[in-house]
Structure 1
Amino acid sequence: MSEGSDNRAMPPASFRVGDFVGNDYELLKVLGRGGMGVVFEARHRFIDQLVALKVLYPHLLTEENWQRFVREARALGRLDHPGVVKIFNCGIDAGRAAPFYVMELIKGDSLADLISQRGALEEELAIRAAIEAARALHFAHGMGVVHRDVKPSNLVLPRSAKGSNLNLKVLDFGIAALSSDRLSSNERQRLTATGQIFGTPYYMSPEVVTGQEASPLSDVYSLGCTLFEMLTGYVPYKGESMFETLGMHLSAPLPSLSETCGAQFSTELELLVARAMAKNPRERYSSMQMFAVDLERYLNNRPVYGTGVKSEGFPALEQTLEGNDPDAELRARLKSGLLILLTLVCLTLLGLVAYHFVKPAPPKAATPVDVTFEAKTGETSTVSLLSQKIEVNGEGFSGGRKVSEEDSALISRGYEISRTKKSIKFQFPNSRIGEIWIPGGAREAKGALTIPLKSDDKYEFIIFGDTPREYIAGLKPNSFDLQLRFSKASDFHLAERYVKGWSALKQIRVEQMVLDKDLLLLDALPPSREFSVGHCDIKYPLLKCRQIHKARIIYINSAHGKEFKAFLAELPQLDRLEELCLSTLELADDDIDNLARAKQLRCLNIEKTEISPAQLTKLMSLPQLKGLKVHDCLFRPKEILQALESCPNRRNLVLNITIPTLSTKNIEKLKALGHKLDEPTFNWTKTDMATIRRKVLELELYERESLKLDGGRGYVNFSEL
């Protein structure tokens, strides 16, 4: 915590300098006050350690608040990050019934102190501070913790900072969340006025102003406000009253940095801050990490969002038209294409490891039932088919993980325990059966779990390939966007009985298997919006499976065989198909010709797959193409311009490609590992980028993040080296 002094009167029954808290901590001086409590510098009476101690006002303590306080403290204790102030201890002082935190003592000044002393900060200092804050906040978001009160007074620069590394610390994590979902209406209004529980009005996001739950994107907005103040010396919105200020966050146009303080700022920086402070959360940076990436690129004089070229790591597509745009959903879906393909590669590799090292538990004893199906045996590309009989137990399992009586009871009762206006409580089996994707990342579906209620849509629930299909029955039909993964064909027909009542699935994914006529068993499942094939030897015509015809998005990763080529030739028959994602493949000229005949395609993603400039030209001829992503192939600007001439829809096209630039970090890493650098003899200039950008709706350029394997097939990500 930052040092300081404050001699204002304290509320009755509060602590004073010289008092002991929790019998062990002697209060030495006041460091600061807020609407929820007071921060002291304190000393442990036995080990003589100096700490910062925050005491919450006793009148805010209720039994429910205390229980939440404990849960928050445990979560915050896991935030082990150099940019987050460490919490050493928490408890409740019995004498005054006041909860307290014991934190790391930071000798330094808050950004609020610096702004008060200097006015606007130097541009580089402000941006470096924002970068370090964004990194710390991104880490917290990944742990499921939203700050809710990001502002200059909660960002401290230690006096020990040296060089370009500021060692910035983020304070007061989670305090604002102490009682936000349990307070009465009167308490909400009173505590909102203090500016602590729901955030401080000068930095509060529009969605929080309207009463919605704070999310990681709310923190992005607040950090954008903080950066605005660091650069100009003024908050972006300041009305005559708190309510007027809140209203300005909702509807007032964002003032420019230059107009606010009279200094000159670049267009890139103006638009960078404007994106962070977009009133619609969907139009902001998608994460703190993305915000930090663009800030770093700006400092290094490299292209950022403000020039119309987004930095690497961004989702491939953003909403660019108004809300009722019929193509908005397509552009949004193209965002996740690359991420899903990369995830598929990682998960299939993990599946192989699990298969070889985890011994399946024996099935529950039951009356044998003869089921005939074709199993696959063999090695590498030599595959033989033989008909054999297997025993399936009474629950419908062909071996693998055993379902205990306790789990069977949970399945029969259903996993959902209760729900409120803001959250849902589940009791899953103690062993993980899948994961739920919520804001901030994936949560494992195991044990007791509470997730925020998503009123406008459903969360994605992924059932893993090694999860017995019976566990699906514990989910309420249509309560999630359900994704079913299969790692063995024998599970295809077993899934049918447990998805009765589901009207549709989000995705069916088959991976690491030989696909033959067993594929037809998937037609008994509800229709799936997406179909994914990963690392499969395709031995049966894919289009004979009706699920393929119903899918609007298809992912193919590392597939091979003549049936794969036949699938590409038959693409025009899939009249519902809108988006195709291809990864780690070898495409011949006839394959590209077949892709170019799929005139219904509106989004096409190609990753870790070599294509030539001539082939790119053919793909751009697709008449309805709205989004094209080609990663890991390096094209000259003039090759892109020539290909665009064949694109009839280029004015509506979002183009996403890889440029030859390598970051210094990746160059050093490759050299240290002895990898040959296949550096191209050309690069992209800002003029090239601007010329191409004028011809398309939107241009996204990504730095190289993978290396083609020497003497072999495929690519490897730098992060995996």
Structure 2
Amino acid sequence: MDGKTLSGRYILGRLLGRGGMGVVHEADDTALQRRVAVKIMNADILHSRSAVGRFEREARAASAIQTEHIVRVLDAGVDEETRSPFLVMELLQGEDLAQLLERLGPLPPRLALRIVAQACVGLQKAHEAGVVHRDIKPGNLFLARREQGPGLIVKVLDFGIAKIKPAHDPRRDTTGLTRSGSMVGTPRYMSPEQARGIKDIDHRTDIWALGIVLYHALAGRTPTQDVEAFGDLIAALVAELPTPLQEFAPWVAPEVAAVVDGALQYQPVARYPSASVMLDAILPLLRDDPGDDPLSLDEGMLVPLSPSERQTVAPRLELPAAPRVPRRSGPVIPAPGRAAERWRDQSTDG
């Protein structure tokens, strides 16, 4: 497609990425003389109403949120030649958190906290706009170089399976969770209620997922990384609390482990009630230097955990002795088949 023009305006350039839904190209916006990213839906899935709906939903959801911490959708249209929908987004330079973790392994706690703190700002704005992301994971948190001035900014990507509350979107909610037993998202980062396929999940499912992201950034792994079978993973998600962070990352201070624990409570009502409250729990841990902006990030901070830090054994966070997972009746594991295929496709996220 290199050199192809969409809508008489966007000249496609190099391929930036490819996935099951479509491809992303760098492009020239000839009308406004700027470089952009264009996501084009694969022609072979145009027959899928849910796939087309995902494209439409991503544009609506991202456009409803006013913050620099959400990737901006600039335009949307349909390619006249292939009839494939496309989205035009701001072009980002940098890497996503999944790539950073693959490159560095466990991150120093202050770096991990700064990344998640910025993500909290973006998620809070999304939730205030009535949007629940439902697929927060390292690959959807992008560390972008700022267009003006030094530093990095964390941007939340991919609102394709977001849930938009009806009060904020007059269209019928066709988010893919239309009945109990249907599951969307990336399994290793799913909340228990999302893994169970419950329809009426709310913004607190994103709080859980962000807690797993922070866990992964601090420990270099997710709590369920050793679980390979899809059914076993779902059973673990709906019936067990994650292994305490310090079991895998003994160097993490108890006050940092407490932030993770506050997000990873089984019952949504017991988690941080909002992303802003989670942010409030993080900020005191980043204010050692009065002159430092606790949300600032720059490329010089992107370093691995040092060998000396790895050898540290911090005091343990005291956790409640009583089990926090309630007893439940009835089936909790979604049917295999398409859900299992999605799991295999997404299991590389760790």
The normalised TM-score by structure 2 is 0.71
Q: How does 1:593-672 map to 2 (within 5 A)?
A: none
Corresponding residue for residue 256 of structure 1: 244
Q: Distance in 2 between matches of 1:33 and 1:292?
A: 33
Deviations 1:623-678 (A, max 9, x none): xxxxxxxxxxxxxxxxxxxxxxxxxxxxxxxxxxxxxxxxxxxxxxxxxxxxxxxx
Distance change (3 Å), C-alpha of 1:233 and 1:323: closer
Q: How does 1:311-390 map to 2 (within 5 A)?
A: none
Match of 2:230 among 242, 246, 251: 242
Q: How does 1:562-573 map to 2 (within 5 A)?
A: none
Q: Are residue 99 (structure 1) and residue 85 (structure 2) matched?
A: yes
Corresponding residue for residue 82 of structure 1: 68
Match of 1:215 among 202, 223, 236: 202
Match of 1:281 among 256, 268, 276: 268
Q: Residues 207 and 263 of structure 2 are in contact (CA less than 8 Å); yes or no, is this contact kept in structure 1?
A: yes
Q: Distance in 1 between matches of 2:325 and 2:101?
A: 37
Corresponding residue for residue 180 of structure 1: 175
Corresponding residue for residue 7 of structure 2: 22
Q: Distance in 2 between matches of 1:139 and 1:152?
A: 19
Distance change (3 Å), C-alpha of 1:291 and 1:50: same
Q: Are residue 141 (structure 1) and residue 136 (structure 2) matched?
A: no
Distance change (3 Å), C-alpha of 1:167 and 1:77: same
Distance change (3 Å), C-alpha of 1:47 and 1:225: same
Give 1:278 shift.
1.6
Q: Distance in 1 between matches of 2:106 and 2:142?
A: 16
Corresponding residue for residue 226 of structure 1: 213
Corresponding residue for residue 50 of structure 1: 35
Deviations 1:188-241 (A, max 9, x none): 98xx6xxxxx21112111111111134210111111111111111112212112
Deviates more, 1:167-176 or 1:151-160: 167-176
Deviations 1:324-366 (A, max 9, x none): 9xxxxxxxxxxxxxxxxxxxxxxxxxxxxxxxxxxxxxxxxxx
Q: Residues 161 and 167 of structure 1 are in contact (CA less than 8 Å); yes or no, is this contact kept in structure 2?
A: no
SS of 2:131's equivalent in the other structure is coil
Q: Residues 134 and 185 of structure 2 are in contact (CA less than 8 Å); yes or no, is this contact kept in structure 1?
A: yes
Deviations 1:228-282 (A, max 9, x none): 1111111221211233223222223322323214x41122222220220122211
Give 1:298 shift.
2.7
Q: Residues 151 and 223 of structure 1 are in contact (CA less than 8 Å); yes or no, is this contact kept in structure 2?
A: yes
1:181 is matched by which residue type in structure 2?
Answer: G
Q: Which has the larger radius of gyration?
A: 1
Give 1:295 shift.
0.8
Distance change (3 Å), C-alpha of 1:161 and 1:63: closer
Deviations 1:57-97 (A, max 9, x none): 33145567656754652342132201111110011223222
User: How many equivalent residue pairs?
Assistant: 284
Q: Residues 142 and 154 of structure 2 are in contact (CA less than 8 Å); yes or no, is this contact kept in structure 1?
A: yes
Q: Residues 6 and 79 of structure 2 are in contact (CA less than 8 Å); yes or no, is this contact kept in structure 1?
A: yes
Q: Residues 57 and 162 of structure 2 are in contact (CA less than 8 Å); yes or no, is this contact kept in structure 1?
A: no
Aligned Cα root-mean-square deviation (Å): 3.3
Q: Distance in 1 between matches of 2:57 and 2:147?
A: 33
Corresponding residue for residue 389 of structure 1: none
Distance change (3 Å), C-alpha of 1:176 and 1:32: farther
Corresponding residue for residue 299 of structure 1: 286
Q: Residues 21 and 51 of structure 2 are in contact (CA less than 8 Å); yes or no, is this contact kept in structure 1?
A: no
Q: Distance in 1 between matches of 2:277 and 2:318?
A: 16
Distance change (3 Å), C-alpha of 1:64 and 1:237: closer
The normalised TM-score by structure 1 is 0.36
Q: Distance in 2 between matches of 1:237 and 1:251?
A: 13
Q: How does 1:476-515 map to 2 (within 5 A)?
A: none
Q: Distance in 2 between matches of 1:164 and 1:323?
A: 48
Give 1:38 shift.
2.1
Deviations 1:95-118 (A, max 9, x none): 222211111111111111110111
SS of 1:167's equivalent in the other structure is strand
SS of 2:3's equivalent in the other structure is coil
Give 1:293 shift.
0.6
Distance change (3 Å), C-alpha of 1:55 and 1:252: same
Could you list the runs of 5+ residues in structure 2 that have no partner in the other structure? Answer: 164-172, 289-316, 328-350
Could you list the runs of 5+ residues in structure 1 that have no partner in the other structure? Answer: 1-15, 193-197, 309-319, 325-721
